[in-house]
Structure 1
Amino acid sequence: MSNLAHSPAWIRFSAECKLADRDAQHLRILDAAGLRVDLSAQAWSPRFEQAGLTLLAQQGFEAARRDLFEGGLCNWTEGRAAWHTALRAPEPPAAVAAEVREGRARLRRFVEGVNARNAYRNVVHLGIGGSDWGPRLAVESLAGHDTRRTVRFASNIDAHAIDDALAGLDAQDTLVIIASKSFTTTEPLANAARVVEWMRQWGVSDPYRHIVAVTANTAAAEAFGISPDRIFSLWDWVGGRYSVWSAIGITIALVLGLDAFDAILAGAAAMDQHFLEAPLTANAPVQMALAAVANRSVLGFASQAIAPYDARLRHFVPWLQQLEMESLGKNAVRNGTPASVPTGATVWGMPGTDGQHTFFQWLHQDATGAPVDFLLCKQPDHNLTHHHRLLLANCLAQRSALLRGKSYEQALEEAQRTGGDPEQVAWLARHRVHPGRRPSTLIVLPRLAPYSLGALLALYEHKVFTQGVLWDINPFDQWGVEFGKELANKLAHDLTEPGPSGVSDLDPSTAYWVEALSPSVKSR
């Protein structure tokens, strides 16, 4: 619908949201693929719940979800399906079953082959964005499980990143994964060229036999020098930020093992089934999406904080930043007109309890604040019970404090207990007021295992998809990213060969810096 804000379902949804309970008077805990999702601290009432169902119906949610799982053109601006669910389905859809099964079999044969030969003690993964964050998150979150190989990731074009990744490795015993759907992305290709140079410096006679490519552009990978037997296919119906389920996950299989990779896929597939089959009122991704839309578009929260109370999930925040902000950071609805309500929120955060000593002050006492997603694991993978008890206590306490707040009267009563001048006590009490009623969601994993991690990632994928449906925006393209790439390619040329024709269409500041910085580039 081109004018969502004036539609009957939206008007009702917005009105009921403003009237809904925001004091967690109703316990709302949903079970989804082994995860427990507590939405009690989000706005809710029976009338608001019904308004959400009406909004979903108005926006065509059922048909959109069907298209997602059946290969419909969910990515309408690029005329593509968004069929990442097929990659983790136990029985892939018939239309793509043969290629998905063959892709899985090739990956398995390759990994089993190098394991049988005990080849490659080191893996260097070269990707960026979705080709990097998914494998990086999985490997570094689950590093406490059986780890077969040392792994390094290099994504940034800054040469410090690739030099750091290669430092101390034996080139003869290193396998390089180039993960690039287009095989034209600047960062992985520039870093790959550096790796080839590094291998030759260390006496590797055929560096390309140490390289694997995962790409939809097999011709470009072959032109780079990689043998076809070391090129694994992607398809145009797999978006980059949804590609961890594909052969992009080969790094996970090489480092954590095939069983771990299979379990990640199984957890995601279980969440797919929940998303498909659970009633909408008990459907965790759907209810999280409705809460997110209410927070952003009705209640006016411009950002969303993420607080994983597990230090191993430190890369979950940037993974989710890309998923949410690249998918939902848009202002054009399907018919090309501007969205009539605010859409995608800023996503930010860090693991607790570090976050408590960094930005929680703002969350508690800023005039607006932000909703928070808290994540924790019921069972840790260590035996330090006291540490885990403190971690859980901190998570639950922060969530409770954000919800409950502290009134002036409560703060005054606390301050009066210490005695002192009444005016000074009253002044101090005003500094201790907490607004409260800050929305939050608590997601509890049984433990941080491959299966639960896969379910967690798929939970957020489906939440983001549902938000796209509700807002009538396409969560599968990224034209802003493409625009920046085009300008960067032009400026890279201008920095090498600056001149009047090269900078004439630039703004004055950019043109100045092209001229000022080009000598330092040409001199090297």
Structure 2
Amino acid sequence: MPSCRSKEEPRVKGAPAYLSQALAPLADTAAWKAFAEAALRADRGAGTLRVLEAAGLAVDLSTQAQSPELLEAGLALLAERDFGAWRERLLEGGIANCTENRAAWHTALRAEEPPGRVAGRVLAERDRVRAFVRHIDAQGRYDSVVHIGIGGSDWGPKLVVSALGYAGTRRQMRFVSNIDGHAIEAGLLGLDPRRTMVVVSSKSFNTTETLNNAQCALRWLREAGIADPWEHVVAVTANAEAAKRMGVAPERIFTFWDWAGGRYSVWSAIGLPIALALGAEALDGLLQGAAAMDAHFAQAPLERNAPVQLALTGLANRNVFGYASLNIAPYDARLVHLVPYLQQLEMESLGKSVDLHGQPVSVPTGPVVWGMPGTDGQHTFFQWLHQGPEGAPVDFIICREADHPYPEHHRLLVANCLAQREALLRGKPASTLETELAAKESDPERAAWLARHKAHPGGRPSTLIVLPRLTAHSLGALLALYEHKVFVQGVVWGINPFDQWGVEYGKVLATGIAEELAGKAPVGQRDPSTAHWVEAWRAAL
């Protein structure tokens, strides 16, 4: 295991002993300056086909900045940022999450043969989940599942069930996350309590939204005359003791561990709803696809390593070309929940303003991630992508083969995806348009004027990610591709992609405001606007 401590440099005061000062601010390094200069000189016109193969996926980076010089500069930058040691630390269960002093070992959860230190626990819990699903299937007792969780406990299962269960699931699945009472009301509406299982998923098992929604579901079960509502409740958590104190039977508590971050937890027992909805084989396929991407990330040469090269492309777009956002455009209606899943993964991981030593970052970090499935996006925001002054890089995601019986639909879908990508790259200058319009317009001045309105600047970067088909395996590989991309960017930026202190601070403030709304005296001073609305709602609630 590589040490995090430099022999040459003293550590920052207050930082853990394994962090050193050897990592200079990114903008100050010669390697970064060389990378930025190479990016500015690189070809941005798709002069060379560049497609990387990874775990069954094809990642086409042809329309991103590319040149032999930029490739070499990227490899030098990774070496300067000690990427090899950080990757080893991640994959071998070292301290990758420095501020919380623990591993970020989600790769162990999906390995066919998990690392020895955790193999017994991971395999035992994996077997427990599958045995439970087999038992429930054999019983035939539940035809509905209400899954209660939020954030990482919700987005992963919801994405997979929606994507792979679009044509039907073994049981009716409802996902409840928001503390807005309309969410739990809709989640329970119309279900038969006697044939409904409630799955409560929370890593800490103290998440406000999840516990309040769980209490609502328990009341619903009791009010239906169910003598022991706990027979209908299952918990998935890293805090089994809290679940027991709540009342969940130990045999119905499935666990994972603090070294599996919430937004990386779909590979753990958090995936239970996937198995209940689609069968254990779907969950197994998801893990296998992610493990295949892990193997590629660990073993492929860096110049052909898809997550690494995707990350370097993103760094150039963010910090050299100045793009502040990244658009995700899955050309597959089944991937409707992919965008919010990736929003959490990228923005919660990379939305940091200090480096590992607590010093201000020297360049902007994670971009805003946004989007929706195509072709809907073409009728929503593609106008901005094509002609807005800023623009944004786009990740186009599509399947080579469809699973429906309408080949003409798939041809049109593919045609739209490729056309939008080509239009972003090529653009159409006003001079060409003016010539075309001159043949239709009698007034040359009007033709020139109209041409300026119709002109597309072009030169806008995109990546095309092609899945063979949308299967559990290919979806697992896709999610792991983005996980590793985010990790690489965190290493280069010198930030911790595995904590989320901004989210935690908001939770603390919300607790205090909730107490004030319930009638407790204010603690401390609030800004005038917050104080006004707390008082207004205190009188109404």
Name the TM-score, length of structure 1 as normaliser: 0.98
Report the equivalent of 2:530.
510
Partner-residue secondary structure (3-state), 1:96: helix
Report the equivalent of 1:409.
431
2:105 corresponds, among 69, 83, 99, to 83
Report the equivalent of 1:234.
256
Matches within 5 A, 1:389-468: 389-468=411-490
2:384 corresponds, among 358, 362, 367, to 362
Q: Please give the alpha-carbon distance, in whole angstroms, between the structure 2 residues aligned to 1:147 and 1:197.
A: 27
Matches within 5 A, 1:224-303: 224-303=246-325
Q: Please give the alpha-carbon distance, in whole angstroms, between the structure 1 residues aligned to 2:69 and 2:141.
A: 61
1:127 corresponds, among 133, 146, 149, to 149
What is the CA deviation profile of residues 468-524 of structure 1, one whole-angstrom value per residue up to 9, with x for unaligned ones?
01111100000000000000011000111154xx06411111011100011222xxx
Q: Please give the alpha-carbon distance, in whole angstroms, between the structure 2 residues aligned to 1:26 and 1:471.
A: 28
1:202 aligns with 2:202: no
Partner-residue secondary structure (3-state), 1:139: helix
Report the equivalent of 1:44.
66
Report if the CA contact (8 A) 2:81-2:492 is conserved.
yes
Report the equivalent of 2:505.
483
What is the CA deviation profile of residues 383-441 of structure 1, one whole-angstrom value per residue up to 9, with x for unaligned ones?
11111111110000000000001112112122112131011111001111111110100
Residue 370 of structure 1 and its aligned partner are, at CA, apart by 0.2
Q: Please give the alpha-carbon distance, in whole angstroms, between the structure 1 residues aligned to 2:291 and 2:459.
A: 35
Q: Quick one: which amino acid aligns to residue 516 of structure 1?
A: A
Q: Please give the alpha-carbon distance, in whole angstroms, between the structure 2 residues aligned to 1:41 and 1:130.
A: 32
1:334 aligns with 2:356: yes
Residue 119 of structure 1 and its aligned partner are, at CA, apart by 2.1
Report the equivalent of 1:497.
519
Q: Please give the alpha-carbon distance, in whole angstroms, between the structure 2 residues aligned to 1:108 and 1:390.
A: 40
Matches within 5 A, 1:43-122: 43-122=65-144
Partner-residue secondary structure (3-state), 1:348: strand
Report if the CA contact (8 A) 2:355-2:496 is conserved.
yes
Report if the CA contact (8 A) 2:166-2:334 is conserved.
no
Q: Quick one: which amino acid aligns to residue 136 of structure 1?
A: K
Q: Please give the alpha-carbon distance, in whole angstroms, between the structure 2 residues aligned to 1:421 and 1:139.
A: 57
1:387 aligns with 2:412: no
Matches within 5 A, 1:186-225: 186-225=208-247
1:306 aligns with 2:328: yes
Q: Which runs of 4+ in 1 moved over 4 A?
A: none
Q: Quick one: which amino acid aligns to residue 239 of structure 2?
A: N
Q: Please give the alpha-carbon distance, in whole angstroms, between the structure 2 residues aligned to 1:376 and 1:399.
A: 12
What is the CA deviation profile of residues 175-227 of structure 1, one whole-angstrom value per residue up to 9, with x for unaligned ones?
11111000000011000000000011111111111111111111110111101
1:325 aligns with 2:347: yes
Report the equivalent of 1:316.
338
1:173 aligns with 2:195: yes
Residue 2 of structure 1 and its aligned partner are, at CA, apart by 3.4
Q: Please give the alpha-carbon distance, in whole angstroms, between the structure 1 residues aligned to 2:436 and 2:412.
A: 25
Q: Please give the alpha-carbon distance, in whole angstroms, between the structure 2 residues aligned to 1:105 and 1:352.
A: 38
Report the equivalent of 1:33.
55
Partner-residue secondary structure (3-state), 1:13: helix
Residue 14 of structure 1 and its aligned partner are, at CA, apart by 0.5
Residue 147 of structure 1 and its aligned partner are, at CA, apart by 2.1
Q: Quick one: which amino acid aligns to residue 174 of structure 1?
A: T
Report the equivalent of 2:41.
19
Partner-residue secondary structure (3-state), 1:177: strand
Residue 117 of structure 1 and its aligned partner are, at CA, apart by 1.0
Q: Please give the alpha-carbon distance, in whole angstroms, between the structure 2 residues aligned to 1:411 and 1:389.
A: 28
Report if the CA contact (8 A) 2:145-2:198 is conserved.
yes
What is the CA deviation profile of residues 351-406 of structure 1, one whole-angstrom value per residue up to 9, with x for unaligned ones?
01110010000000111200000001111111111111111100000000000011
Partner-residue secondary structure (3-state), 1:275: helix
Q: Please give the alpha-carbon distance, in whole angstroms, between the structure 2 residues aligned to 1:159 and 1:146.
A: 27
Q: Please give the alpha-carbon distance, in whole angstroms, between the structure 1 residues aligned to 2:461 and 2:88.
A: 30
Q: Please give the alpha-carbon distance, in whole angstroms, between the structure 1 residues aligned to 2:465 and 2:494.
A: 27
Residue 145 of structure 1 and its aligned partner are, at CA, apart by 5.9
Unaligned runs of 5+ in 2: 1-22
What is the CA deviation profile of residues 249-300 of structure 1, one whole-angstrom value per residue up to 9, with x for unaligned ones?
0000010000111001000000000101111111110000000011001110
Q: Quick one: which amino acid aligns to residue 517 of structure 1?
A: W
Q: Please give the alpha-carbon distance, in whole angstroms, between the structure 2 residues aligned to 1:11 and 1:508.
A: 46
Partner-residue secondary structure (3-state), 1:123: strand
Q: What value does the CA root-mean-square deviation take over the aligned residues?
A: 0.9
Number of matched pairs: 519
Taking a change above 3 Å as real, the CA distance of residues 144 and 510 of structure 1, as seen in their structure-2 partners, is: closer
Partner-residue secondary structure (3-state), 1:37: strand
Residue 64 of structure 1 and its aligned partner are, at CA, apart by 0.6
Q: Please give the alpha-carbon distance, in whole angstroms, between the structure 1 residues aligned to 2:445 and 2:363.
A: 45
Q: Please give the alpha-carbon distance, in whole angstroms, between the structure 2 residues aligned to 1:443 and 1:267.
A: 15
Q: Please give the alpha-carbon distance, in whole angstroms, between the structure 2 residues aligned to 1:413 and 1:211.
A: 69
Q: Quick one: which amino acid aligns to residue 140 of structure 1?
A: S
Q: Please give the alpha-carbon distance, in whole angstroms, between the structure 2 residues aligned to 1:144 and 1:182.
A: 31
Q: Quick one: which amino acid aligns to residue 534 of structure 2?
A: V
Q: Please give the alpha-carbon distance, in whole angstroms, between the structure 2 residues aligned to 1:498 and 1:220.
A: 26
Q: Quick one: which amino acid aligns to residue 162 of structure 1?
A: I
Q: Please give the alpha-carbon distance, in whole angstroms, between the structure 2 residues aligned to 1:14 and 1:408.
A: 30
